[in-house]
Amino acid sequence: MFRGSLTALITPFKKGKVDEQAFQDFVNWQIAQGSHGLVPCGTTGESPTLTHEEHKRVVELCIEAADGRVPVIAGAGSNSTAEAIDFTRHAKEAGADAALVVTPYYNKPTQEGLILHYLAIANAVDIPIVIYNIPARCVIDMSVETMAKLAEHENIVGVKDATNDLGRPQRMLQLVGDKFCQLSGEDGTSIAFLAQGGKGCISVTANVAPHLCAQLQDSWHLGTYEDAFRVRDILAPLHESMFVETNPAPVKFAASLLGKCAPETRLPLAPLSIKSKARIEEAMRAAGLLN
């Protein structure tokens, strides 16, 4: 259903407000550069600090700008099931191709609680749902067995896997087969994830290197592995620099170097240190993104 390089989009701000023009210009640039899909209002889009109105507006802006050229998987998760249903319902009404629903953070549900949460959303809204499993941020980890059980629901179609456990895609493949779309949430292991049965990557780095990230995915799917490995090696230092401090502060600064937006984030994310800025700029130059 989904494949390749799907960009976990930043949300540009200008003097504290969403910069709508910069965002839509950014969406158009992403598509022109070859990105295979777009994911607004995820972690990289600073969803925790967007108001509900801003969240829904950003989703609408992305869908409007994309205009059906590539799939849009709208961030729609929450630790409140009712709130997640509301966001997911809005994603469908706005015309999104799918909803990305993160595991509930902070309240630490059991595996049974996770099943009930996702089934409530999938039963309430008829839209493809991609589970977002990111234990490092949410404290909980959805087990392979729980995910396989959820995959039995026709609306639960895939996962963004940010566990960094490269054994998981193969275990899921054995349990549910190729119909379940597994997307990596870790740029640095994107090729390894593909080799284990994945279909693509929801990428942070693609915000600033969309062409290279798409080229890596295309080369792999075409079987031109030498080219895929060459691009992997170009991107490796850049991937690392995108997490030199908490995402999305580094990638927003990197995007500002390309003139795509201001480096502005919302508190509690702090401005980058001078040392981090230098490291990011160095990595971007090494990747050929800056003169």
Q: Catalytic amino acids?
A: 132, 160
d(CA 97, CA 278): 38
**C-alpha dihedral (251, 254, 259, 262), degrees to nearest 10:** 60
> In sequence order, what DSSP letters do the residues of 133-160 get, joined into one string?
E-HHHHS----HHHHHHHTTSTTEEEEE
Burial (CB count <10 Å: 0-12, 13-18, 19+), residue 276: middle
d(CA 46, CA 55): 9
Yes or no: say if 188 and 236 are a contact pair by the CB < 8 Å rule: yes
Residue with structure tokens 């995820």? 42
Q: Which has the closest alpha carbon to 72: 139, 23, 123, 141?
A: 23
Q: Which has the closest alpha carbon to 172: 197, 142, 207?
A: 197
Structural tokens at position 37: 């899909």
d(CA 76, CA 86): 8
Residue with structure tokens 């566990």? 163
- What is the residue type of 148? A
